[in-house]
Each structure stands twice: as C-alpha cells, then as structure tokens.
C-alpha cells in the first residue's frame, strides 16, 4: 500500500486547499489513505484502475463487506450498545431505537430469510417500502449477502415499478401493506401485484411486512403475478441468521433509478468499495459527525440522499442516524424539524430547500423554532435543488448560524461541492454551494469545451476520473453511461448543470442547462430570475420557466406562491395588479431590463416531485401547448390541473 503523508498533529485540521490539491495531484495516495478507515478482508493495493477509460474503477483488488463495516465492526469493537438507528414516526406517534447489536441481529435475520429464498451474491432484490425501519434493514441485509438492492420510492405507480423490475431483473421483492401520508394511506400490495403482472421479468418471491390499518391483505394478492407471496416475519422466523459475504470492491452494492430523457429510467450503479470509502470520509470531513453523535437527514430512503446519509454514511461512521417518517409541515406543524433536533440531540441536520420554503410559508417568523432547544445543532445543510438566497438568509437569521448549501446528484452519491467543515469551516457565500469537494476536479466550460474565466457562466463539468463513490456506469449499459455523461466534453463528466466559479473558487450552480433561457440573444438562468422574485417579502416560493416567443425566441414566465398570512388578492382586482407589478419591478431591479420580465402569476402551489424538485420542464411544456407526460414522481397531480386552467382558461 502506498505510504500516506504524515498525519496532522492531534487536535489540528488540514486546510481545505491543501487537502483538495493533494486529492487531485495524488489521487492514488489520497484515497488509499482514506481506505484505511474501512475494514477490508483483502486491503486494496491500488486506488484507481483507468485501464478501461473513460470507465474507471476504484480499489480493483480490494475485498470487503459493506454491512460488516456498517454494523459488525462496531459491535466487534465493543460498541454494540451504542445507538445506531432512531426511527421517529410523526405518522404513528412512535419512536423506536436500535443499538448497533440489535440492528445487526435484525439485518442478519432478514439476510438469512433472503438466503433461504435463494438470494446470493450478485442477485437483485427490489425494495418497495416507506420510511420504516424495515427499509434500512432490507438494504443492509442485501449488502450482507453481497446481493444488489434497488430501492423504489414507496408509492410509485405500478407502471414505473414494472419498468424497474424489467431493468434490474430482481428475484425477490420486499414490501409491506402500505405507507402512511398525513391525509391518506397508500396501499402498496395492489401496486406491487399490478407491476408483477405488467413486467416481463418474472419475480420469484415477494416478502410482505404487515402494517395495521390497510385494506389489502396478503391473501388478497397471493395468486397474482406468478410470484410466491410470503409473510415477512414468518420467513425470518423460519431461517437461520446469515453471516457477511465477501465481495469485490468493484461489485455493485445497489442500483438506483433516475429519470432518463428517453423515458426509460437510468439505473445508477454504486459499487461497494468506493462507496464505503467515500461516505466514511465525508462523514468526518464534510458533515463533522462521528461515533456517538447524531445526524438527521430529512429525506426518504427512496432517494440517493436517503441511501447515503440516512442509511450508509452515519452507520459507516459509527454514528446515530435519525430516520423521520413525517413531513416538514402538517405533522403536526412547521416545528417538526426543530422537535427532531431537540428530542434526539442532532448535531448535523440535512434537508431540501423546498422543505425550508414550506416551513417559511407556515411560520415566517420562526415562532415554532423558538419553542425548542437547538443547542446540540452544530451544522445545518441543504441540498436536492438550488437553495435560493432569500430562503438561505431567512433560515440563517432564525438559526443564528451559517446554512450550508451543498450540491450533488443521484449519479455522484455525495457532494460535488460543499463546505468541508470537518476540515476547515469556510465562510459561507449566499447563493453558493461552497467549494469543490476533494476528489472533484471541477471546471466550467463553454459550448466548445473550453474553460471560461472566473465569474463566467458555462457548463459545469468534472475532469475524469470521478472520485470513489460516484457511479462507475449505468446498470447493464456502459455505452449509455458514456453517451449520457462522458461524450459532451472529452475527458470530462458533464453534470448537466450550468453555473460559475468565482475568483475565490466558490461554485454557484444556476440551474440545469435546459433551465437556461435565451431572451433576444441574452442567456439568462432561471435561478437568477427566481432569486429576484423570491426577494419580494410576500413570496414563499416561485418558479420561472422559459416560454417560446416568436419575436424574442423565449420569454420568462414566473409563478409565485405567497407566504402564509399574506392575503391572496382577487383575480383581476387592483390589488392583484399592484402586487404583480411589484413582482415585475423586483426582477427588473435584481436582474435588469434585459430579462424583459412581464409574465407573472400567483398560484396556490407549484408542481413538484415527492423529493421537492419543481417540475419546470413540465410547466414549460404545458404553457407552450406541447405534449407532456405527468411524471410518476409528482407529489400532487391536482396542482397540474390548477396550473392548466390558469395557463389555458379556454380549454
């Protein structure tokens, strides 16, 4: 193994600049040193294998087991009684705690049941579960066997579920009676049954965890889809606990699907070795969380954030992960997050900007926050979409601490740009995702692939190889991976995002490249326009899309949701006209007349995915009268109906 540089003296931290520079100059030494924080059956002697470039693999000669590193190693080290998982359900009013020893035993038991169903190394298991402890147990049980899990967000439509079954070809599906939403219960079993009947690939077994309060029972679906439907608890009771199975570092740990431009979902692959090394490194250096400390990530295990920082990251670090079944507002109120921090002594909290905007809309003065003791909170993070400056200033003002906006993707699995507070807490710049993470050689390129200067907007790309923990390929389709990500700029991974890097090296992500609009030859980011709108004191959240214009090419059109407590003016009234003019002037002041911003409307809600991303492309297609498909990930399809009536009242 390569000899690492001398470590800093105890109690000191390396500077970010030194660490980032070393990660690019000596990736071999840097990541082999980071790999020492992981237990290996066969330690790697090489870091990166570039023999098949542009496809690169990490730790090609290493052998390990991810579940062992998440659970058994901590138990073996005498920390079996340490708190591993807290499940806090606002939906059922219960809190359940698991020590590392208890969680290991639960995982080993389910792994034994899966093995009894014929699941082994390399086999796929589809997980279709809500935010209950069975979800991380299922993921870790697959990892224990060397099987590959593919988690599908609970509540996805049968058609989408079937598409993922056909692509991943799982032998077993793990599911339950259903998920609980604030105003309804979502039945899972009919959806799974329909998906099995729709899919071409035959699933062998479905294990069902029973939850009270749902209409569909196991017996109601037992004859459907050609699979053997079995009770989860009975299968576990009949099996012997399974030991950890060694896998190659380059073997896949999971496949997670993200939307593809062709309509066929893309299966992002995450390998075992690079994933474990990278996430373990980030817990210490980006999130500043270690053994005995609590991290709460308010996401869902169906998304990449949930994979990385509800399940794997905290457990790899020996920390406590707080898993929340509830919403940022309405379960019961906009103080839910602050209660979680107080009740569980959370050190680092991570959520999406859309959740913060929802809280701001309900509790703009932060009265509910003041009811809770947040003294354990050291760091507050946002990611998943652009954190608009107005929301960032608002939440920073209430918390009295910097809010760390960091930027990453399903494909990367961890932050491309972040404030590395575990190394060196850098000043926060409003509107910036901070600086490139160590391992990411980030550049901004023009349309011809040439680097642009500081402060100039362009296409954000990363020089290859990508660091460990990022996707090595797409499931079963290396060429699609190359075509989708590695072909636009030779030698680079194209993020699909536009932005700039300022003179201090801070990254500003302005939006997807298809969110850049061209108004009379002027390229404008919708993110910049939205920031100007959001600065108006009445605005809770907003979206701007570019509409086709026969004269200008495109024109910006804004949609605004007002804060709770702000009276929505009557349509066509003088009050509405005055407010709309104020919004136009806000953009004129913030961006300038070049935006030619005239179209703006007040709406009750914006169409979003369940992960909180605004469906700007769908909104643009609707407004332009183009054909569009209602995404399966939409949170509330009725919002699209309201928007359609606003855009096309004559229809």
pLDDT digits (tens, 9 = 90+) for 529-560: 888 898 899 999 898 988 887 766 678 889 99
**Residue 282 host element (H or E):** helix 272-285
Answer with the residue of higher pLDDT: 130 or 6: 130
Among 277, 259, 276, CA closest to 268 = 259
pLDDT of residue 357: 87
* 3-class secondary-structure state, position 64: strand
pLDDT (tens digit per residue) in 562-621 = 998 898 999 889 999 999 999 999 888 877 676 778 899 999 888 887 667 788 878 887
Place of tokens 């929301």: 391
User: Which whole number is the average pLDDT over 180-205?
Assistant: 94
Residue 635 has pLDDT above 80, yes or no: no
Measure the CA–CA gap between 322 and 333, rounded to whole angstroms. 19
- Looking at residue 513, its pLDDT comes to 66
Task: Single out the residue of 574, 595, 575, 573 nearest to residue 584, CA to CA.
Answer: 595
- Mean pLDDT score, 372-383: 97
The single residue listed with the structure tokens 């290996």 is 40
DSSP annotation of 504: T
User: What is the rounded CA–CA span in Å between residue 33 and residue 1?
Assistant: 9
**Tell me: the pLDDT tens digits for 388-397?**
888 999 999 9
Q: How many CB atoms are closer than 10 A to CB 523?
A: 10
Q: What is the mean pLDDT of residues 131-137?
A: 98
Per-residue pLDDT reduced to its tens digit, 218-262: 999 998 999 999 999 999 999 999 999 999 999 999 999 986 544
Instruction: Report the alpha-carbon distance of residue 385 to residue 420 in Å, rounded.
Output: 19
Give the rounded percent of residues in the chain with a pLDDT score beyond 70: 92
Q: How far apart are CA 113 and CA 236, in angstroms?
A: 5
Phi and psi at residue 511, to the nearest 5°: 145, 175
The residue count of the chain comes to: 651
Strand residues in 59-108 grouped as ranges (E): 63-64, 83-89, 94-99
Architecture per CATH, domain 520-647, reads as 2-Layer Sandwich (3.30)
The class that CATH gives domain 66-326 is alpha beta
- What would the two tokens of residue 192 be? 């799974």
Average pLDDT score over residue span 291-303: 95
Token pair in block for residue 393: 């200033």
- What is the model's pLDDT at position 157? 80
626: exposed, middle or buried (Cβ count in 10 Å: 0-12, 13-18, 19+): exposed
Residue 284 CB neighbour total at 10 angstroms: 17
Q: 173 to each of 159, 234, 360, 548, how far by Cα in Å? A: 15, 16, 39, 44
Residue 338 pLDDT exceeds 70: yes
Structure tokens at 6: 């001398």
Mean per-residue pLDDT over the chain, rounded: 91
| Angle at CA of residue 374, ends 371 and 376, nearest 5° | 155
Helix (H/G/I), strand (E/B), else coil: 68: helix
CA dist 204 and 226 (Å) reads 8
**SS3 label, residue 173:** strand
Q: What is the pLDDT of residue 183?
A: 87
Paired strand residues for 452: none
6 pLDDT exceeds 90?
no
Q: State how far the Cα of 543 lies from the Cα of 559, in Å rounded to an integer.
A: 5
CA 589 to chain centre: 34
For 213, residues 6+ apart whose C-beta sits below 8 A from its C-beta are: 177, 180, 185
Q: What string of H, E and C letters represents the secondary structure of 444-509?
A: EECCCCCECCCCCCEEEEEECCCCCCCCCCECCCHHHHHHHHHCCCCCEEEEEEEEEECCCCCEEE
Percent of the residues in the chain that have a pLDDT greater than 90, as a whole number? 74
* Domain extents in the chain: 66-326, 520-647
What CA–CA distance (Å, rounded) separates 414 from 211?
33
Specify whether the CB–CB gap between 221 and 188 falls below 8 A.
no
Q: Please, what sign has the CA dihedral across residues 451, 455, 460, 465? A: positive
Specify whether the CB–CB gap between 119 and 147 falls below 8 A: yes
Helix 389-399 to helix 353-362 angle (10° resolution) is: 70
Q: How confident is the model at residue 526 (pLDDT cuts 50, 70, 90)?
A: confident
533: enclosing H helix or E strand: helix 526-534
Q: Would you state the pLDDT for residue 521?
A: 53
């Amino acid at each position: 193994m390569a000899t690492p540089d001398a470590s800093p003296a105890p109690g000191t931290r390396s500077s970010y600049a030194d660490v980032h520079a070393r990660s690019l100059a000596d990736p071999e030494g840097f990541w082999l040193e980071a790999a020492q924080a992981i237990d290996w059956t066969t330690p790697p002697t090489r870091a990166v294998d570039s023999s098949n470039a542009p496809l690169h693999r990490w730790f090609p000669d290493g052998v390990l087991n991810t579940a062992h590193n998440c659970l058994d190693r901590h138990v073996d080290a005498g920390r079996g009684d340490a708190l591993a998982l807290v499940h806090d359900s606002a939906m059922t009013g219960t809190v359940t705690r698991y020590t590392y020893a208890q969680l290991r035993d639960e995982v080993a038991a389910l792994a034994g049941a899966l093995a009894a169903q014929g699941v082994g190394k390399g086999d796929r298991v589809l997980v279709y579960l809500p935010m209950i402890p069975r979800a991380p147990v299922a993921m870790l049980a697959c990892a224990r066997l060397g099987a590959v899990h593919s988690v599908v967000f609970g509540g996805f439509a049968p058609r989408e579920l079937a598409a993922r079954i056909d692509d991943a070809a799982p032998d077993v599906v793990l599911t339950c009676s259903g998920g609980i939403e604030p105003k309804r219960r979502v039945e899972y079993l009919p959806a799974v049954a329909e998906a099995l009947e729709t899919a071409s690939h035959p699933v062998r077994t479905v294990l069902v965890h029973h939850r009270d309060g749902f209409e569909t029972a196991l017996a109601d679906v037992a004859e459907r889809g050609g699979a053997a439907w079995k009770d989860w608890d009975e299968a576990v009771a009949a099996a012997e606990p399974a030991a950890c199975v060694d896998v190659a570092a380059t073997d896949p740990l999971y496949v997670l699907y993200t939307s593809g431009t062709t309509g066929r979902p893309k299966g992002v692959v995450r390998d075992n070795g690079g994933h474990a090394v990278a996430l373990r490194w980030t817990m210490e250096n980006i999130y500043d969380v270690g053994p005995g400390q609590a991290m709460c990530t308010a996401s869902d295990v169906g998304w990449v954030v949930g994979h990385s920082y509800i399940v794997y990251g905290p457990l790899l670090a020996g920390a406590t992960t707080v898993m929340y079944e509830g919403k940022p507002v309405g379960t019961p109120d906009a103080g839910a997050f602050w209660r979680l921090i107080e009740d569980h002594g959370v050190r680092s909290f991570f959520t999406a900007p859309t959740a913060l905007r929802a809280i701001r809309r309900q509790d703009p003065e932060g009265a509910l926050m003041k009811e809770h003791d947040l003294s354990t909170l050291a760091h507050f993070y946002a990611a998943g979409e652009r954190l608009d400056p107005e929301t960032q200033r608002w939440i920073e003002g209430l918390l009295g601490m910097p809010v760390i906006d960091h930027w990453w993707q399903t494909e990367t699995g961890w932050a491309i740009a972040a404030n590395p507070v575990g190394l060196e807490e850098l000043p926060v710049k409003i509107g910036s995702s901070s600086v490139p993470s160590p391992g990411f050689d980030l550049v901004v390129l023009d349309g011809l692939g040439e680097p642009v200067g500081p402060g100039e907007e362009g296409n954000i790309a990363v020089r290859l190889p990508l660091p460990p923990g990022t996707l090595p390929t797409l499931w079963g389709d290396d060429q699609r991976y190359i075509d989708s990500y590695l072909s636009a700029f030779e030698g680079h991974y194209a993020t699909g995002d536009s932005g700039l890097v300022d003179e201090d090296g801070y990254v500003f992500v302005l939006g997807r490249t298809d969110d850049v609009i061209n108004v009379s030859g002027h390229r404008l980011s919708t993110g910049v326009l939205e920031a100007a709108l959001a600065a108006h004191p009445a605005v809770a959240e907003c979206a701007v899309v570019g509409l086709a214009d026969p004269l200008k090419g495109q024109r910006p059109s804004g949609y605004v949701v007002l804060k709770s407590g702000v009276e929505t003016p009557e349509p066509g009234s003088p009050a509405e006209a005055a407010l709309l003019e104020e919004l136009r002037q806000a953009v004129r002041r913030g961006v300038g007349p070049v935006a030619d911003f005239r179209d703006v409307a007040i709406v009750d809600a914006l169409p979003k995915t369940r992960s909180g991303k605004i469906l700007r492309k769908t909104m643009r297609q609707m407004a332009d009268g183009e054909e569009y498909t209602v995404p399966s990930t939409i949170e509330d399809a009725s919002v699209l109906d309201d928007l359609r009536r606003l855009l096309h009242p004559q229809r």
